[in-house]
Each structure stands twice: as structure tokens, then as C-alpha cells.
Amino acid sequence: MRTVSSTRSRWGLRTLGLGYLALLLLAPLVMIFYKTFEHGLAPPLDAITSPDGLHALKLSLLMVAIAVPLNTIFGVGCALLLVRHKWKGNGAIDAIINLPFAISPIVIGLSLFLLYGAKGWFGPGLAEAGIEVLFSVPGMVLASIFVSLPFVVRETVPVLQEIGTEQEQAASTLGANAWQTFWRITLPAIRWGVAYGVVLTTARVLGEFGAVSIVSGQISGETETLPLFVEKQFANFNTAGAFGASVLLAVLALTTLLAMNVLKRKEDA
Amino acid sequence: MGISVEGASKSFGDFQALNDVSIEVPNGSLTALLGPSGSGKSTLLRAIAGLETLDAGRVMIDDEDVSKKPTQKREVGFVFQHYAAFKHMTVFENVGFGLKIRKWDKARISDRVHELLRLVQLDGLADRYPSQLSGGQRQRMALARALAVEPQVLLLDEPFGALDAKVRKDLRTWLRNLHEEMHVTTIFVTHDQEEAMDVAGQLVVMNEGRVEQSGSADDLYDHPANEFVMSFVGEVNRLGDGFVRPHDMDVVLDADENTEEAMVQRIVALGFEIRVEFVLADGTEVWAQLTRAELQKLELRQGQIVYLRPGKTKSFNGDVPSSDGSGASTPHGSQDGGDAEVSAAV
């Protein structure tokens, strides 16, 4: 039974929760949007459409285009290994996968810098082969993959556990081989878990600053992603450019989230 | 296509699910694997389908050793207790799955699927998703899906276990009729002895990873090979070293040399059947199954002292069973299990 006091406390809790979220999450976002368009559309638009701005946008999208598919394939495969093939080493794999969550991105950047630098283990060999990892796209891709690696695994594992193995077994009794079973049964059954992992991975890759900032060398128009561009504009007191690029980043991330929600609602209907 | 399993053993860690099990299932028969949970019946069924690999022994389908064949090549239809419906596919797509894998063309798939949906009485529901079906409908869809690919054998793992009593009974009858129409060799796992007797022509009773006995329902009921079979297949009273069925307990009002004194403890009317519970002089509790007419004739009441004359008492203690459980009607293979038990007891 609902009593007056329980109704009141419920509303109290809601107000508190929403107020807390508004203050901590929404207020800064609203502020950025407001500041960006304070003097109209032109200043932020100019900043973004400058050659360096456009290059940063392209580079950020390139990071997404490479890191997200790789992490998705790896993530789904790894989740299958963890859930479907019980093995002693699974505990270790599980722990290692969480490393990017635990380690500060800047430390990740530094360790990559050391590993692929002139005195690192891999650096000299790769340099001889003519592959420059640091201060160029390969290093930035590596950093992006590293920091965003756990998301697909983490979102897929519980879904795989939940669907169980019966549907897969049923498919095999109906003549489907492992590959057919994966494409026709397993993947469709886990697709929302994977999709959510993909969205989180995309958001993380788009927003990554620390690790990429170290391995990229932040060369304008060459190795600058959108977050690095924002930082440089801000440091150079070009607030219009910084805010404009920030809003662009936020819009990209929100679009990914919205796209998934729309798709999911269609599916449920 | 007959199925035979020879010397099958399987352990899960310390637990031995199957211990040197051999069964023989004749072509076209409907056989029940009956046993309590943990008896190994599901493991045996899954081993036949290739969903479990055996530690030892082999599985033969139609005289071919399929032990090394992967599940998808064994051509078995398998129905799971919890349906294993493909949730993201419609009823039509579920039933047509195996045909699509076999690369049938669309028109042929459509014809075949609709034919099967008519057979399982789901023809109006082709476009529904499994979540929109009742349990009984889902299980019929699963059955249609298994039958669509014309399997050599049909394996059902507690197919009605998750359904309520009424639906269970309907589906039982329906499965029996379906088997009469299709004649595909069928093995069906259950822990419910009534269900096994109702549906199957041949029963294999399993316990603790072994076959205790196999044969027709009558064989098992009238000539159980051991104590376990006697108490698992049908009701039983224990009197000293002997066992007697409740309907073989005669209740009389006058003592003679073959009777034992008993006090009526409780009378329970279950429709036509009456269950009368007694306590003997030594404290043993037994019960007798009477008809309504018998009860009225005896005019029993609670607390009354009467006399019980147990007919057809069986003893498995060192004696050879009073009648041979492996008679001519007992199919092959079954004797292994039954005899092994008997000789072990001797």
C-alpha cells in the first residue's frame, strides 16, 4: 500500500537524484553548448572547418573505423572463449582484460612510448622495416585499441551466459556447423550486448586523450585527433574553436547512443 | 533405423553419469528412458545425439558407428525440455531452420514448413515469435523443427517436463499418435513412470548410471528384476524382506495362517480408487488400494483392527526373482542390465 509519507519520500529521492545528475553531468554540458553558440554559429563553425579542425575530425573518425571493428571482433571472440570454453587460464585472461580500466591512460601512453621508442623492445626493429609507430597513425591506433579493449568483452560475456547453450545445441542437431551456428544463432542472440559494447567503445575511442596525446606527439594537421585539437585550441585561448570541437565530439557520441536506442526500440516493437 | 549403445561410460569430474551402459532400441520403436534425476538418462540421450562425448563405449545408429561423428552429421532430431526455441526467429523460421541450412529453395521450404505446422496444429501461428506462444505451443514448434529435416531418429529430453499437468497429458497422447503416423525411431527421457508407460512401447529403467532393466511396461511391472525397478515402476509396500503392490493386499476381517494383523490408520478417497493406510503390529506402515465397492463391503473405519493377506509377494534378497524378468518379450540388450543386477544380488 502506498502511504503519503512513502510517496513524499519517493519524490524526495527523485528530486535528489535528478538534481545531483543535473548539477554534475548536465550543467557542464549545457554550459559548453551555451558558450559555443553565444556569438552565433559562425565562430565554432569556422574553427571546425579550418584545415586543422577538419583533419582532426577525419583522424578521430579513422581511429574509430580501425579500433572499433578490431575490438569488436576480438571482444566477441574473447567472450566466447571465456564463456563457452571453460579453461584454467580463463581467470588470468579475465583479469588482464580489465587492465585498461585500471591503468591511467597516460600510463598506457607512456608504456607504449617506451615499447615502440628508439630504445624499446619493438621500436628499432619496426623502424628498420620502415614502420613508424610513434608520432604517427599506427601508434595512435594502438593506444586507442588498448584503452577501449574491455568494453565489448564486458558487455558480451553476461549476455552469452544468459542465453545458455541450448539454442546452439539445437542448431547443431539441425545440421548447422559451428560457423553457421555462430552467425545464425549466437550472434543474433547477443547482438544488443555487442551493440552496446560497440557504442561504448566508439565513445571511448572518440574521447581518448591521455594515451593518444603521448604517442601522437600532437602535431597539428598530422597527428591531432579532436580531443587533442580541443586541448590545443583551449591552451591557445581560442575558446570558440575549443568549444566548437567539444560540441562536435559530444554530438558524435550522442548520435551513436541515440542510433542504438532507436534501433533497439524498433527491435522490441 | 535402430539405435544401439555399447558399453557407454561418462564421468563429469567425480560424478559417474554413465557406467558401462548398453541399450538396444529397435527400428521404429518408441522407447522411454526412465529413471530418477542423476540416473544418467539425459546424458545417455545427449551422447546418442553427440551433444556429449563418451569416455568409453560407442553409439551405433542404423548399424553405423557414429561415435566420432559431430552432432550436425548424425541426422538426429532433438527436443529439449526447455524448448531451445530460436528467440529471434518466427515460428516459420524456427521450423525451416534445418532446411535452410540444407539449402532448400524457398518454395520447397515454405511447403514443408506449412505441412509440419499443420501436423503440430500451429498453422495459424507461422509469423509469431516464440515469446508469443504458450509452453505447449513452443514444444510443438520444437518438435516440428526437429521433424522438418526428416531425422533418422528422434530424441526427446523430458519434453513435457516444463508443462502443466493438463497440457502434458494432451501432448502425451498426441506424441503417441504422431509416432504411429511417422514411425521414426524415438527415444524419450522422463522421470515420470506413468508418462513412460503411457507413451512408450519399450522402457529402459536407469539408476545411478546403469540400466536396471528394460522391457515392456507389463514386463517391468509384473516381473521387476530388482527392488529398485519394483519400487520405481509402480507403488510398493515393504513387508520384511518382501515387496507387495498395494492392489495385491487383500483386506479381510477374519484371521488365518497367511494374514497379518493391522490397524486402519487413514482412509483416503481418490475418486474411484480408495487408499487405505495401515500400521502393523511391529509398527510398519503399509497401504492397500481398494475399490469403492470393496470399501463399502468391508465397512472399514479408522482405528479398526483388520487382517491383511499379501498376495504376490516378491523378494530380491538372494533369491532368484519369483518370475523371470527377462522373458521372451524382453528385447535384447535389456538382459544385460537386468541379469547383471540379479547376478550381483545372488
Predicted local confidence at residue B201, as pLDDT: 86
Name the strand (E) or helix (H) holding B182: helix B165-182
Q: Tens digits of per-residue pLDDT, A140-199?
A: 999 999 999 999 999 999 999 999 999 999 999 999 999 999 999 999 999 988 988 998
Predicted local confidence at residue B335, as pLDDT: 38
CA B69 – CA B51 distance, rounded (Å): 11
Name the residue in chain B with its Cα closest to that of A172.
Answer: B72
Chain A partners within 8 Å of B71 (Cβ): 169, 172-173
Task: Note whether A245 and A235 are within 8 A (CB).
Answer: no
Q: Tens digits of per-residue pLDDT, B28-81?
A: 999 999 999 989 999 999 999 999 999 999 999 998 999 999 999 999 999 999
Confirm or reject contact between B136 and chain A (CB < 8 A).
Answer: no
| Confidence label for A238 from pLDDT (cuts 50, 70 and 90) | confident
Average pLDDT in the A238-264 region? 83
Q: Do B101 and A172 touch (CB under 8 A)?
A: no
Predicted local confidence at residue B202, as pLDDT: 92
Predicted local confidence at residue A269, as pLDDT: 55
- Between B204 and A217, whose confidence is greater? B204
Q: Is the ipTM of this complex over 0.85?
A: no
Q: Do B49 and A188 touch (CB under 8 A)?
A: no
Q: What percent of chain A has pLDDT over 70?
A: 97
Predicted local confidence at residue A178, as pLDDT: 93
Predicted local confidence at residue B317, as pLDDT: 67
pTM, 2 dp: 0.80
Statement: residue B325 has pLDDT above 80: no
Q: Do A184 and B142 touch (CB under 8 A)?
A: no
Statement: residue B332 has pLDDT above 60: no
Predicted local confidence at residue B211, as pLDDT: 94
Chain A partners within 8 Å of B85 (Cβ): 167
Q: Which CATH number fits domain A41-268: 3.20.20.220, 1.10.3720.10, 3.40.50.10540, 2.60.120.260?
A: 1.10.3720.10
CA A176 – CA A9 distance, rounded (Å): 55
Task: Note whether B113 and B96 are within 8 A (CB).
Answer: yes
The end-to-end CA distance of chain A, in Å, is 32
| Confidence label for B11 from pLDDT (cuts 50, 70 and 90) | very high
Statement: residue A240 has pLDDT above 60: yes
Average pLDDT in the A86-110 region? 90
Mutate which of B43, B46, B78 to test chain A, going by most A C-beta atoms within 10 A?
B78
The alpha-carbon gap from B66 to the nearest alpha carbon of chain A, in Å, equals 14
Name the residue in chain B with its Cα closest to that of A180.
Answer: B101
The sign of the CA dihedral B173, B175, B176, B178 is positive
CA B234 – CA B223 distance, rounded (Å): 12
Q: Do A189 and B85 touch (CB under 8 A)?
A: no
Chain B partners within 8 Å of A174 (Cβ): 72, 97-98, 101, 145-146, 149
Mean pLDDT of all residues in chain B? 86
Range scoring the smallest mean pLDDT among A66-70, B15-19, B216-220, B310-314: B310-314
Instruction: State the maximum Cα–Cα separation within chain A, in Å, rounded to a whole number.
Output: 76
Among B73, B75, B84, the residue with its CB nearest the CB of A169 is B84
Q: Tens digits of per-residue pLDDT, B21-33?
A: 999 999 999 999 9
Chain A partners within 8 Å of B149 (Cβ): 174-175
Instruction: State the maximum Cα–Cα separation within chain B, in Å, rounded to a whole number.
Output: 78
Task: Note whether B171 and B99 are within 8 A (CB).
Answer: no
Chain A partners within 8 Å of B86 (Cβ): 167, 170-171, 185
| Confidence label for A268 from pLDDT (cuts 50, 70 and 90) | low
Q: Tens digits of per-residue pLDDT, B278-298?
A: 998 888 889 999 888 888 888
Predicted local confidence at residue A180, as pLDDT: 95
Statement: residue B328 has pLDDT above 70: no
**What is the phi-psi region of residue B319: left when phi exceeds 0, alpha when psi lies from -120 to 50, beta otherwise?**
beta
Task: Note whether B73 and B149 are within 8 A (CB).
Answer: no
Instruction: Write the single-letter amino acid at A44.
Output: P
Q: Do B51 and A172 touch (CB under 8 A)?
A: yes
Chain B partners within 8 Å of A166 (Cβ): 80, 82, 84
The alpha-carbon gap from B237 to the nearest alpha carbon of chain A, in Å, equals 41
Predicted local confidence at residue B312, as pLDDT: 79
Q: Where are the domains of chain A?
A: 1-36, 41-268
Predicted local confidence at residue B101, as pLDDT: 95
Statement: residue B5 has pLDDT above 90: yes
Chain B partners within 8 Å of A177 (Cβ): 70, 72
Among B80, B87, B101, the residue with its CB nearest the CB of A175 is B101
Predicted local confidence at residue A1, as pLDDT: 54
Name the residue in chain B with its Cα closest to that of A183.
Answer: B101
Predicted local confidence at residue A38, as pLDDT: 83
Statement: residue A251 has pLDDT above 50: yes
Confirm or reject contact between B221 and chain A (CB < 8 A).
Answer: no
Predicted local confidence at residue B138, as pLDDT: 94
Instruction: Write the single-letter amino acid at B76.
Output: V
The alpha-carbon gap from A171 to the nearest alpha carbon of chain B, in Å, equals 8
Q: Do B98 and A172 touch (CB under 8 A)?
A: no
Name the strand (E) or helix (H) holding B249: strand B249-252
Q: What percent of chain B has pLDDT over 90?
A: 51
Predicted local confidence at residue B318, as pLDDT: 53
Confirm or reject contact between A167 and chain B (CB < 8 A).
Answer: yes
